[in-house]
Amino acid sequence: MSLDTAQQAGYARIIASWADGDEDNPDISARMAGPVLILRFDEPVDLDLDALREELPSHIAVARLSEDGREARIALAREYRVHMSESIDLTSIDLVSESMTSDPPDVVSPLVAVYEARAEERAAAAEAARIAALPPPLDVTVRGSEGLDFTTLAFYWPQLVGYEMETTDEGVRITFDRRANADLSRTRVDPPRGLLGIQAENTEETWIVDLDLSEGFWANAVAADDAVLVRFREGSPPPETPEEDVVLPEALAALAAELPPANYLAPPSRKPYEESPVLSMVSEDGDGVEAAVSEDAQREEDIASQLMAEVPITPPRVWTEALPRSGVVDVDGSLSGGVIQLELNFASQVPATVFRRNNVLWLAFPANGHFDLNGIQQATGVRVDEVTSETGMAIRLFLSRERLVRIRSSGRTWAIEAGGPGELAARRIQPTRTAHSGGSGILAVVPDAGTVFSLADPEIGDQLVFVPAFNPATSMVQELSFVEAAFPETLHGLVVVPRADDLNFIQREDNVLIGREDGLALSSWGVDSQYTGGQTLTPGFLDVAAWRHGDLGSFWENYSAYSRAAAAADPEEWSGQSALLELARFLLAWELAAEAYGPLEVARAGDGLLGQDAQWLTMKGAADVMMGRYLAAVETLDHSRTRGDAAANAWLGLALTELGDWRRAREAFIAADPMLNAHSSEWAGRFHAAAARAMIRMGDGAAAERHAAAANRSGDPTAEGHARLTLGELAIADERYADAATIFEQLMNHRSPNVRVRAELAHIQLALGQGDMSYLEASDRLDALRFRWRGDALELEIVAELAKAYFELGQYREALVLAQNFAEDFPDLPGSRELRITLMEFFEDLYLRGQADNLDPISSLALFYEFRDLTPIGPDGDRMVRMLANRLVDFDLLDPATELLSYQVENRNLIGIGRAQIAADLASIYLLDRRPEQALQTLNASRVPGLSDELRIERRLLEAAAHMELQRFGHAIELLEPLDDQRALDLLAEVHWRSRTWGAAGRALQRTLPPPGSRLTQAQIQTAVRAAVAYRLDSNYDGLASLRSEYAASMAGTNEADTFNLLTGSNQVSSSRLSDTVRELADTTTADAFLAGLRERFNAAGDDAL
């Protein structure tokens, strides 16, 4: 370190800088200890103090540097006041004489001018670059015209430009967001009526036009295509400016014809969605769209005709205004945790349609631009392309498998997530039949609809017609297929696949009528099955209907025949294995799974390769499913030979559904979907019911409703019951709580015990959520319910709900014990993980969020020790332990508090800041318990580098307090003197008082007082009196005079005013009076105040944590 000096009138200056030219100034702290200047450095330094003494011989007598290079002590010729300042690479220490009352000017580094010059150069370069980057002015044509009701001044821009209009004293001012070149001479010579004058000027980024209006006229502006029309009207402006049409006046039509063609129309107004009167024709009997057909066809025709006559036709249009000026929409993409995220940024609000077709996700919009797809494929990891037409544009994601999709939109921005958790659509599109003068048609109500547009599918070659919509998500949840058109499922908006060339679309706001001149043929109204009779069956398909070989009357005859053939055959030969497999097929067809197990295993023992056969694996997995051995079924069916088999995936999905593994179950049923309806009606119904449960749990509402509808038609009572449970969950998602409650109440009397238990559980959950049932009643019902169904994922759901009820009732131990026991008893079930998460949330609610405050401290501690394995790792766990310790300290339970914290320090393998913080808490409690030796041991054993300043100071204060309690006053002073902290000053004063070094105690006490003239608290009044006593005992009359001059006014009128005056006055004080005062003050020692502060610290820490 380099030291330079300078002397001026009234002060001498020492300037420190780094000798290597480092532009960071040295970090130095300076203080006076009598006539000694003490400089402390934040790191070891090397400097020449002899040269410093030679340059300032009249100020410096002796100077020395400590061995560690961190402190310099400079003996001065007299006492000076120290003033410090910093400037970039310099640190200045000024020795100011007593005759100089003001501070010297701060040091200024030569680098200041250098930095300012560099900053000015950078600012000038940035400004030049900004001006150079501004777009050039656009050529604008300005024309005026006059009509009967108003006159118009039109600004024709070559592209869409934003503008703002405001009123001025002379008229109006229009600020366009682009600069312009315009010839205004014609307008100035022949202005339209109402316009007195026009002035315009370009700023750096805008074009400002001031219009002076004639007296009695007012003006407003409206955009039309790329033009801005200012209209002048006579009279007073209305309270609200009327909405203007964008029709050009006749006088401007010729001029407009020469400009680019106008496509712009304002977007249709957004209004609250109300159900169409036509939808009121749909009955509530659960039969879907078939119930829309009225028995009175003439009444349908009258209602539809009346509805269509009242609402004007919405013409198709291209939403050009939604495109950026470049016509290219910015696209951002990313892939995180297997979730594909895509964000599309338009220039203004635009509706959209989102749907899936053959694992291709379409996002379609009624605009005719392009998408910026540079780098999107690399960012998302999937193929991405665009499809465009004159009326629409779409971006397509080619996904390797079907993924759940979540849609978000703010109007201008559309964002999707593919592969994460799904989300049920807020609204649904339910097309209905309607009759009109031209015959039958289909009416679809699309809430907040945009306008109709079309695109061609480049792979299939057919035309797709889209009806987009604004947010929130509005989906078509059930695929419909007709002779002339198909309606695929959508995630948002409506898509129609025409199958006739003359299909027409008539849109009237949110109502879209699809028809033909002679009407549609709607006899095939319903849902298409993807399975057709001609489709090839997979190896894993179990044709149980054919394998029964007749009805129940012929069972024994067939069973005897198959049994004899299997018994007579040799299992080592293929003929014998074939006979065994035929017997197993027959038994499985009659759902005699346990009996089928034997022939299956004997056949495989004869030929080990059978264990690799897709049908054998599916038969064994199906047998496991029938016997309720779902884990074994998953192990068997999750095989390389069956993963691609649609029929085998149906059984796998059923097993996974029973285990509550919803994600994998959904994936299995997606793979199985083409083969579900190929099974017998009862098994198809069970598969559809299980698929509906998996889909609704994963947020795929459209697929859930489709599968539930299929299960409802299966004829299998159990499948129908499970399907109706799913419909109840869908009703909850649609906020139709009364309908959901009715469904659950009806199913509570179902013939299937599983359906009954699930229905009652769902009813209890719904009633709790709606506030119609207390947790006490719910806990009684759930406690009885869990004994009605045991041993699988359903019991885990019941237990999880019961544990929540116990917790809400304040029965914390019962909730924790119940959740922990079941999580340990069923560790392999997928629901067990959620139960363990719930268990940990309970524990955090108790000890992180204050729920345990409802218990007495001893019970709270006992509960913590019983379940302390749930203590989270990391800062939350440390905070949890500290909060509990704080509460124990608050109740003077110091021994349990020290035991708790010492266990954390010694046994939890804490490292770093967490260990140091908890050790500080433990040391504080040791001090409160008058055990300073243990406090020092704890602090010494937990020293780590890199602590925050606050924690470091806190630990040093505790260490100093422990030394003070042990009467090691020198150690305490060494620890406290370097600290610039009010708490350190208070404790240092107490150390000096206890050590009876009265002069230092008086100075330390005076330093703890606020600035002279401040109002003193009662504690500060006592401190001032104690400082006076210390000065008296040290016979330090200068100190008494200084104390009196600074605080006499503040002490006046206090309860200690007389004592303060007596002690600081010039009169002698008797030793007996002084002894009495010292004795009284000994009762208010700050040592007790420091311990009281520790208690307050624990209380404050607990409050902050809460």
Exposed / middle / buried, residue 787 (Cβ in 10 Å: 0-12, 13-18, 19+): exposed
pLDDT value, residue 263: 36
Q: Which two tokens stand for residue 576?
A: 């014998």
- With beta carbons less than 8 A apart as the criterion, state whether 26 and 17 touch: yes
Please answer whether residues 208 and 201 qualify as being in contact, where contact means their C-beta atoms are separated by less than 8 angstroms: yes
Residue 1106: per-residue pLDDT: 34
Question: Does 107 share its domain with 150?
Answer: no
| Same domain, residue pair 443 and 484 | yes
CA distance 505 to 468: 14
Domain containing residue 368:
320-515
Model confidence pTM above 0.75: no
Whether residue 490 is contained in a domain is answered as: yes
Instruction: Based on the fold, state whether residues 375 and 475 are members of the same structural domain.
Output: yes
CA 1023/CA 1085 separation, integer angstroms: 10
Specify if 624 maps to a domain.
yes
- H helix and E strand count, the chain: 37, 37
DSSP 8-state secondary structure symbol assigned to residue 449: B
User: Do 138 and 86 share a structural domain?
Assistant: no
Q: Count the helix, strand and coil residues of the chain and give each as a percent rounded to the nearest 5.
A: 45, 20, 35
DSSP letters, 174-237, are EEESS-EEE--HHHHHSPPTTEEEEEEEE-SS-EEEEEEEPTTEEEEEEEETTEEEEEEEESPP
Indicate which CATH number applies to the domain containing 245.
2.60.40.3500
How distant, in Å, are the alpha carbons of 270, 275, 439, 520 from that of 308?
Answer: 19, 15, 15, 18
Below-50 pLDDT ranges, the chain:
245-301, 303-304, 437-438, 523-536, 1083, 1085-1087, 1101-1106
Residue 846: the pLDDT is 81
230 touches 211 (CB < 8 A): yes
Per-residue model confidence (pLDDT) at position 277 = 33
Distances (CA, A) of 1005 to 306, 967, 977, 991, 1043: 93, 19, 13, 11, 10
| Separation CA 630–CA 205 (nearest Å) | 70
Same-domain check for residues 364 and 432: yes
Q: Do both 412 and 506 map to the same domain? A: yes
pLDDT value, residue 688: 93
Residue 81 covered by a domain: yes
Model pLDDT, residue 545: 82
Identify the helix (H) or strand (E) that includes residue 397: strand 393-398
Joined tokens for residue 205: 């980024």
The Cα–Cα gap between 789 and 916 comes to 50
Name the 3-class secondary structure at 448: coil
Which pLDDT belongs to residue 285? 39
In a domain, 1083, yes or no: no
Q: Do residues 559 and 626 share a domain? A: yes
- Give yes or no: residues 490 and 563 share one domain: no
Q: Same domain for 481 and 622?
A: no
Determine the Cα–Cα distance for residues 667 and 1022; give it in Å rounded to an integer. 76
Instruction: List the Cα angle 654/656/661 in 5-degree steps.
Output: 140
Residue range 315-340, pLDDT digits in tens: 899 999 999 999 999 999 998 877 89
- CA torsion, ordered 857, 933, 920, 855, to nearest 10 deg: 0
Phi and psi (nearest 5°) for 491? Answer: -90, -25
Contacts of 671 (CB under 8 A, 6+ apart): 644, 646, 649
E-only strand ranges, 97-187: 138-146, 151-156, 163-167, 171-176, 180-182
Q: What's the rounded Cα separation, in Å, for the pair 233 and 219?
A: 6
Cβ pair 180, 189 in contact under 8 A: no
Q: In this structure, which amino acid lies at residue 161?
A: V
257, 280, 304 - which closes a domain: 257
Residue 555's CATH number: 1.25.40
Q: Can you tell me the distance from the alpha carbon of 30 to that of 71, in angstroms, rounded to the nearest whole number?
A: 10
Residue 910 lies in a domain: no
- Rounded Cα gap, residues 948 and 222, in angstroms: 61
Task: Please report the sign of the dihedral spanned by the C-alpha atoms of residue 707, residue 709, residue 713, residue 718.
Answer: positive
| Residue carrying structure tokens 């190929």 | 678
DSSP string, 777-808: HHHHHHHHHTTTS-SSHHHHHHHHHHHHHHHH
User: Domain total for the chain?
Assistant: 4
Of 592, 624, 654, which residue is a domain's last?
654
Is 484 domain-assigned?
A: yes
Give the single-character DSSP code of 320: G
Task: Look up residue 1024 and give its amino acid.
Answer: A
| CA atoms within a 13 Å half-sphere pointing along the CA-CB vector of 422 | 23
CA end-to-end distance (rounded Å), the chain: 49
554 and 501 co-located in one domain = no
> Token pair for residue 822?
């079941």
Burial class (CB in 10 A: 0-12, 13-18, 19+), 148: exposed
471 and 556 fall within a common domain: no
Closest CA to 661 of 792, 568, 546: 792
Q: Name the one residue in this structure whose structure tokens are 């260490």.
A: 959
pLDDT in the model for residue 949: 86
Q: Quick check: is 610 in a domain?
A: yes
- The tokens for 986 are 């208070």
Q: How many angstroms from the chain centroid is the CA of residue 337?
A: 15
Strands 151-156 and 71-76 turn out to be unpaired
**Domain edge (last residue) among 231, 257, 283:** 257
Q: CA-CA distances (angstroms) from residue 160 to 226, 252, 857?
A: 5, 19, 70
Instruction: Tell me: do 627 and 560 sit in the same domain.
Output: yes
372 lies in some domain: yes
